[in-house]
Chain A
Amino acid sequence: MQLIPCPWCGDRDEVEFHYGGQAHLVHPADPDALSDEEWAGYLFLRDNPAGWFAERWSHAAGCRRWFNVLRHTVTHEVYGAYLPGEPVPVIAS
């Protein structure tokens, strides 16, 4: 049971959240300008790193707010949460 840091409510159990997949995918402003391949890329192709991953979560059973989490997909370590529109935090090495 992961502990997800909601920026509004604090740390809460994973079961209160919905997972929203990769963060920072932007709906194309003009979908018609995209080729079929490019549009399919927007729809279906996602990064799948073994490592740090910026992903979206929604506090579905809480404040219902969407936010982003930088999380390690192997260790499940959570670096931190940030708001939509904010840049991905840089991890000090």
Chain B
Amino acid sequence: MNSHRLRTGGRIDRAHPLTFTFDGTVHTGYQGDTLASALLANGVRTFTTSLTHGRPRGIYAAGVDEPNALVGLHPDPHAPDAAARPAEPMTQATVTELYDGLRATSLRGKGRLEAGRPGDHGRHDAMHAHCDVLVVGAGPAGLTAARTAASTGARVVLLDEQPEMGGSLLGTREHIADRPALEWVRHALAELAGRAETTLLTRTTAVGCYDHNYVVAAERRLPAAGGGGRLWQIRARRIVFATGAHERPLLFADNDRPGVMLAGAARTYANRYGTLPGRRAVVAANNDSAYAAALELADAGLEIARIVDARDHVPPYWAARCADRHIDVSAGHVVVGSRGGDGTVTAALLAAREGDGTASSAADCDLLLVSGGWNPAVQLHTQSGGRTRYDERLCCHVPHEPDPRRRVAGAARGLARLGDCLADGAAAGADAASDLGLSAGQTPQPPGAWEPAPLPPLWPLPACPAAGDPAAQYVDMQRDATLADIERAVGGGMRSVEHVKRYTTIGTAHDQGRTSGVTAAAATAGVLGVPVAELGTTTNRPPYTPVPFALLAGRARGRLHDPVRTTPLHAWHLARGAVFENVGQWKRPRYYPRPGEDMATAVDRECRAAREGVAAMDVSTLGKIDIQGPDAAEFLNRVYTGGFAKLRVGSCRYGVMCTADGMVFDDGVTMRLAEDRFQMSTTTGNAAAVLDWLEEWLQTEWPQLRVFCTSVTEQWAGVAVVGPRARAVLARLAPQLPLENGDFPFMAWRDAEVAGLPARVARISFSGELAFEVYVSGWDGAALWEAVLETGAVEGITPYGTETMHVLRAEKGYVIVGQDTDGSVTPQDLGMDWAVSTRKDFIGRRSHRRPDTSRPDRKHLVGLLPWDTGELLPEGSHLVCAGSGEPEARTPVPSLGHVTSSYRSAALGRTFALALVRGGRDRIGGTVHVALGDRTVAAQVTEPVFYDREGSRRDG
């Protein structure tokens, strides 16, 4: 139907019609339209109803500054390219490129989240680029900046948010050198495209500028191009922000009716999209740009009923051109209100600017175009630390003393005339290149000191005190926030724009205050009676425009979100139906359920096998660090709390590491392989941190120590063979290896052939049982594991997982660093004084004498036996004291500590737990209470060793 479409002109392809649906009605548009331009062409005036006031609203702008025209996009799930068209819950119709089959719904009122909406599974990628000069914005200033910089040989990236480059020139009929400006744009782009070191990106919005010129830009791809997007991360040596400016609205009563529109937006709709947003317009302005818009619109066929200029004197240039076209101009007048019918504007109410605000006349119109001047788009500039100052003439904040590494050019620094923007961009591009030692030949001169005609203050306060009801003067249309809200905020005592912003919510919506920000600041200053410059501005934060989370995630989602580490035995675990748990990035079998078994049953069975027969576990994930060098023993002596200097080759020792503040950091068993070589083991999840820790001390404190550390975690696969029958199994696997206690004592290691494989065997036990850990090359891991299971079949060898390992070690009171400790626990708190040498220094030793670490009422590791032997205390439960002898319950009830480990024990036939309890060792034999929601459970405090306290089982 396209009732408002011009027959010719614009950058749409009339030979390529597109069908789309808006709020259930089918419309037609053209290739090159936005959803907004196509709807205007179809005569759609009222677009939505507002957030809280329920007022009708129409399309107001033509770009990312649009406050009203928000839509949700619903792709056809049956379309062949459905995956490329993710549901888009909220976007602006003014930046939505029309495509055939597009289905859009206006977002009315507060909207709601729709359950079951398909997520965005489009293909999103990350791109990394490095350049000499990044130019953001391909309008007149950006194009000249890029051209000049590229001509020096600089590597240039030029990006722009629009589907085609040209910026404001796409929406005007300006001329450059007496030729249509778009011819110049075409020529400039052809020149840039021919440069091998220049990258041109359209549909790409720079959304953030971060430290050291790191710019993140979001590129959209059309469904026809596969959809999704690319997240560009660009490191630029120099940046030119040529981000343009956004037109400022005017405040008057009922300034939000459909049909009220920014003058520059109407100009763009006519020139770029061949669409007239109305038939008869009144133009309200305080600056020259609205004249250019009005005249181009008049030439396109729009009746301009009147131009209302707040200035007392119309510039003669524009006065003459208006007279030529018989356009009436009311100088010294302002619009103080509007009339509406059917929800849309039908007349503008005019009054003298210096009057009392009473409307002196009404001008009929169906389009009320407003222009309050232009706000430079300084968001990226200020985000990256740039300052602004308030320009009294332009009534806006302009960049102030920009860092030369991030220049601002053109309209983004307040320039208004095309010639000035072209020259300014060229100078910025040349200067940027010249900073890098690249010469542009004759350096273009930036425009001279520019003295714009000052805008008359068109803020309703105090210049025009009676411009209608403040509650009908909309400052932020998207938030339905009015001048009355600002008055209320200031009346409530708020003095800072940041506070007013948060109280009124102005500037917090989808458009982030692009139209409302300066207006709100000026209105606030007006109410407060202070200069705008004194008030300052709110803070711009990234992103400049909304970015889909799916784009930020890129490919790093689902399976690719984080690396998954598996051991050489993983395939076997999978085939046997192991239930896995994540330990750091590792997948470790937690237990191996047999058919019909739940976890408790399976773990019970696995525990019995280890305590009564023989069981085997994949221990490949333990961190392993090869430590070599003449000073290796001295080094270990310093990092471990225990002594390692005298450890004999062929033996191993358990060690605890502390941080300098004396807190337990890691533990593990270290083997001495040679006089100058050790192999340290670390907890699975802490391996990288321990290696970093060792390197830190070696490199920064003790560079004189000749020690080298290498991670060998993945070079070895390990199998623990555990239980009273372990020796029998190993004897058949390694017939050459003497296994009796005298030959191969506890905490010794031997190199041997096991199952025909070269192996290293260590007598280490994390269960209290007789146990051997067998290590082979990672390549041989699967063969070793299968040999162990096959050989042990006679003894009923049982594979077990981490859950059983936890139960077995907790029964013995062996701690797991990171589970039973949390960075505030000393070895002494754990009752591990035996592992702390008193005869040498080590990292953290001095801290064990600090008043805080030697307090008697520190939290100690103790055991807990719930009175009810079937009660499994949740790990993390808090402990309180209560009952006889304790003071009456105070609130809040002080916590004595918490449960760190809690299991069912097959060996004990009951539940048990480990806990950190304040003054815990002095409470042994006493009772604590565990707060479990609405009930409290009593538990006896015990020694933290529950099983084989004498240690009689480890030798078999």
A1-B214, A56-B700 known; A39 vs B695 contact (CB < 8 Å): no
Interface residues of chain B: helix, strand, loop or mixed (majority):
mixed
Evaluate contact between A84 and B696: CB separation under 8 angstroms: no
Q: Is the CB of A39 within 8 A of B847?
A: yes
Question: For residue B659, which residue of chain A has the nearest CB?
Answer: A43
Judge whether A31 is part of the interface by a CB distance below 8 angstroms.
yes
Give the complex CA separation of A60 and B849 in angstroms. 33
- Chain B interface residue count, Cβ-Cβ cutoff 8 angstroms: 23
Are B700 and A2 in contact (CB-based, < 8 A)? no
Q: Which of A27, A64, A66 contacts B660 (CB 8 A)?
A: A27
Known contacts being A1-B212, A31-B841, is A66 close to B695, with CB within 8 Å? yes
Q: Are B661 and A2 in contact (CB under 8 A)?
A: no
- Residue B850 lies at the interface, judged by CB distance under 8 Å to chain A: yes
List B contacts of A28 (CB < 8 A): 846
Bound-state CA distance A64–B243 (Å) is 41
Q: Secondary structure of the A side of the interface?
A: mixed
Task: Report the bound CA distance from A27 to B700 in whole Å.
Answer: 10
Q: Is B703 an interface residue (CB 8 A)?
A: yes
Beta-carbon contact of B700 and A66 below 8 Å = yes
Q: Which of B692, B846, B847 is most buried by chain A, counting CB atoms within 10 A of its CB?
A: B846
Partner of B699, one of A13, A32, A65: A65
User: How far does the alpha carbon of A3 sit from the alpha carbon of B661 in the complex, in Å?
Assistant: 32
Which chain B residues border A32 with CB–CB below 8 Å? 846
Cross-chain contact B850 with A58 (CB below 8 angstroms): no
Find B212's partner among A2, A36, A64 (CB 8 Å cutoff): A2
- Complex CA gap A14/B235 in Å reads 12
Q: Per a CB cutoff under 8 Å, which of A3, A20, A36 touches B696?
A: A20
A18 is an interface residue with CB less than 8 A from chain B: yes
When distances are taken between beta carbons in the complex, the residues of chain A under 8 Å from B701 are 26-27
* CB proximity of A7 to chain B, nearest CB, Å: 12
Q: How far is the CA of A34 from the CA of B846 in the complex (A)?
A: 9
**Bound complex: CA of A8 vs CA of B155, how far in Å?**
26
Tell me whether A36 and B851 are in contact (CB under 8 A).
yes
Q: How far is the CA of A18 from the CA of B661 in the complex (A)?
A: 20
A50 within 8 A of B: no
Interface assignment of B572: CB less than 8 Å from any CB of chain A: no
Q: Which residue of B lies closest to A56 (CB)?
A: B700
- The verdict on A85 contacting chain B, using a C-beta distance below 8 Å, is yes
Residues of B close to A56: CB separation below 8 A: 700
| A36-B850 contact given A18-B692, A76-B211, CB 8 Å threshold | yes
The answer on a CB contact under 8 Å between B211 and A2 is yes
In the assembled complex, the Cα of A32 lies from the Cα of B849 at a distance in Å of: 9
Return B625 CB to nearest CB of chain A, in Å: 13
Shortest distance in angstroms between A22's beta carbon and chain B's nearest beta carbon? 12
Q: Does B385 contact A (CB under 8 A)?
A: yes
B403 nearest CB neighbor, chain A only: A75
Indicate whether A40 reaches chain B with its CB closer than 8 angstroms. Answer: yes
Chain B: CB-nearest residue to A4: B212
- Supposing A34-B846, A75-B385 touch, asked if A43 and B700 sit within 8 A by C-beta, the answer is no
**Count of chain A residues with Cβ under 8 Å from any Cβ of B?**
30
Q: Which residues of chain B are within 8 angstroms of A75 by Cβ–Cβ distance?
A: 385
B850 — which chain A residues lie within 8 A by C-beta?
A: 36, 39-40
Residues from chain B with Cβ under 8 Å of A20 in the complex: 696, 700
| B660 proximity list for chain A (CB < 8 A) | 27, 42-43
Complex interface: chain B residues within 8 A of A66 (CB): 695-696, 699-700
Q: In A68-93, which residues have CB < 8 Å from any B CB?
A: 75-76, 78, 84-85
Q: Is B845 an interface residue (CB 8 A)?
A: yes
Complex interface bits, A1-33 against B, C-beta within 8 A gives 1, otherwise 0: 111000000000110001010000011100110
- CB-defined contacts of A60 to chain B, threshold 8 Å: 692
Bound: A1/B695 CA distance, A: 25
Contact between B211 and A58, CB atoms less than 8 A apart: no
Chain A contacts for B318, CB-based, 8 A:
none
* Contact assessment for A31 and B846 in the assembled complex, using a CB-CB cutoff below 8 Å: yes
A64/B210 in contact, CB under 8 A: no
A1–B232 Cα gap in the complex (Å)?
13
A60 to B692, CA, bound (A): 8
Q: Give Cα A26–Cα B660 distance, bound, in whole angstroms.
A: 12
Residues on B with C-beta less than 8 A from A42 are: 660
Residues of A contacting B845 with CB < 8 Å? 31
Residue of B nearest to A40 (CB): B850
Are A3 and B695 within 8 A (Cβ)?
no
Residues from 176 to 235 in B contacting A, C-beta threshold 8 Å: 210-212, 214, 233, 235
For chain B, residues 836 to 867, give those with C-beta under 8 angstroms from any C-beta of chain A. 841, 845-847, 849-851
When chains A and B are docked, how far (Å) is the Cα of A58 from the Cα of B700? 10
A44 CB to nearest B CB, Å = 8
The residue from A2, A58, A78 contacting B695, defined by CB atoms under 8 A apart: A58
> Do the beta carbons of A3 and B235 come within 8 Å of each other?
yes
A84: chain B residues within 8 A (beta carbon): 699-700, 703
Alpha-carbon distance A64/B846, docked complex (angstroms): 29
Instruction: Select the residue from B210, B211, B661, B703 with max chain A CB neighbours within 10 A.
Output: B211
C-alpha spacing A40/B211, complex, angstroms: 34
Given A31-B841, A32-B846, verify A1-B211 contact (CB < 8 Å): yes
Determine the distance from Cα of A76 to Cα of B540 in the docked complex, in whole angstroms.
19
Check B841–A43 contact: CB distance below 8 A.
no
Q: A1 → chain B, closest Cβ, in Å? A: 4
**Beta-carbon nearest neighbor of A32 in chain B:** B846
**Docked CA distance A58–B693 (Å):** 11
**Smallest beta-carbon distance B824→chain A, Å:** 14
Nearest Cβ in chain A — how far from B492, in angstroms? 33
| Least CB separation from A78: chain B residue | B212
| A18, A66, A78, most chain B CB atoms within 10 A | A66
Q: In the assembled complex, which residues on chain B have CB atoms less than 8 Å from the CB atom of A43?
A: 660-661, 847
What 1/0 mask marks residues of chain B from 369 to 401 whose CB sits below 8 Å from any chain A CB?
Answer: 000000000000000010000000000000000
* 8 Å CB interface, B696-714 against A: 696, 699-701, 703
Is B695's CB under 8 angstroms from A64's CB?
yes
* Distance to closest chain A CB from B742 (angstroms): 42
- In the complex, what's the smallest C-beta–C-beta distance from A9 to chain B, in angstroms? 15
From A18, A31, A44, A85, contact of B703 by CB (8 A): A85
- Give complex CA distance A32, B848 in Å: 11
A39 touches B846 (CB 8 A): yes
Q: Is the CB of B212 within 8 A of A58?
A: no
- Inside 8 A of B235's CB, which chain A residues have their CB? 3, 13
Q: Judging by beta carbons under 8 Å apart, are A1 and B210 in contact?
A: yes
Q: Give the complex CA separation of A75 and B212 in angstroms.
A: 10
Alpha-carbon gap, A40 to B846, bound state (A):
10
A70 to B713, CA, bound (A): 35
How far is the CB of A43 from the nearest CB of chain B, in Å? Answer: 5
A39-69 near B? 1/0 per residue, CB < 8 Å: 1101110000000000010101000111000
Residues of A within 8 A of B700 (CB): 20, 56, 66, 84
| Residue numbers in B under 8 Å from A3 (CB-CB) | 211-212, 214, 235
For the complex formed, measure the closest distance between the CB of B807 and the CB atoms of chain A, giving whole angstroms.
Answer: 35
When C-beta atoms are compared, the residue in chain A nearest to B851 turns out to be: A36
* A contact residues around B849 at 8 Å (CB): 36
- For B210, the chain A residues whose CB sits under 8 A away are 1
Give complex CA distance A76, B212 in Å. Answer: 8
Residues of A near B661 (CB, < 8 A) are: 43-44
What does the 1/0 interface line of B475-494 toward A look like (CB < 8 Å)?
Answer: 00000000000000000000
Residues of A close to B695: CB separation below 8 A: 58, 64, 66
What residues of B have a CB within 8 angstroms of the CB of A31 in the complex? 841, 845-846
Cα A44 to Cα B660 in complex, Å, equals 10
Determine how close the nearest CB of chain A comes to the CB of B561; give it in whole angstroms: 16
- Please name the residue on chain A nearest to B843 by beta carbon: A27
A14 / chain B contacts, CB cutoff of 8 Å: 211
- A3-B214, A27-B660 known; 16 other A-B pairs, CB under 8 Å? A1-B212, A1-B233, A2-B211, A2-B212, A3-B235, A26-B701, A31-B841, A39-B846, A40-B850, A58-B696, A66-B695, A66-B696, A66-B700, A76-B211, A78-B212, A84-B699
A/B interface sample: 6 pairs, CB < 8 A: A1-B214, A1-B233, A20-B696, A26-B701, A39-B846, A43-B660
Counting from the closest, the 6 A-B pairs by CB-CB distance are: A31-B846, A1-B214, A3-B212, A66-B699, A2-B211, A76-B211
